[in-house]
Amino acid sequence: MSGNCAYGEEITDYGCQRTNQECGINMKFQKVYKVLFLENSYTLSRCTQRCVCVNNAYIGSGRKCIKKEFLAQ
């Protein structure tokens, strides 16, 4: 899944393993919410993850994140 998502895109992540993993150039998955449920006496988790800019130096522009300094030019 790494590198295949657009800025703002949301995915369902069973096991919630993708939090903070790369989802594109200058982007990472951020947990929107987490649901715990019981199945056959096992506690399982399911998260909704959103592809966001990796830090505050970047801003979402269309389907990707670009450095803010490039916008000032």
Q: Cβ(49)–Cβ(18) under 8 Å?
A: yes
Q: What is the mean pLDDT of residues 61-70?
A: 88
What mean pLDDT value characterizes the chain? 91
Q: How far apart are alpha carbons 54 and 61 in whole angstroms?
A: 13
Q: What is the pTM of this model?
A: 0.84
C-beta separation of 48 from 8 below 8 A: no
Question: In percent, how much of the chain has pLDDT > 90?
Answer: 78
CA distances from residue 49 to 61, 71, 72 in whole angstroms, order as listed: 19, 27, 30
Report how far residue 72's alpha carbon sits from residue 50's, in angstroms, rounded to the nearest whole number. Answer: 26
Judged against a pLDDT cut of 60, whether residue 66 lies above it is answered with yes
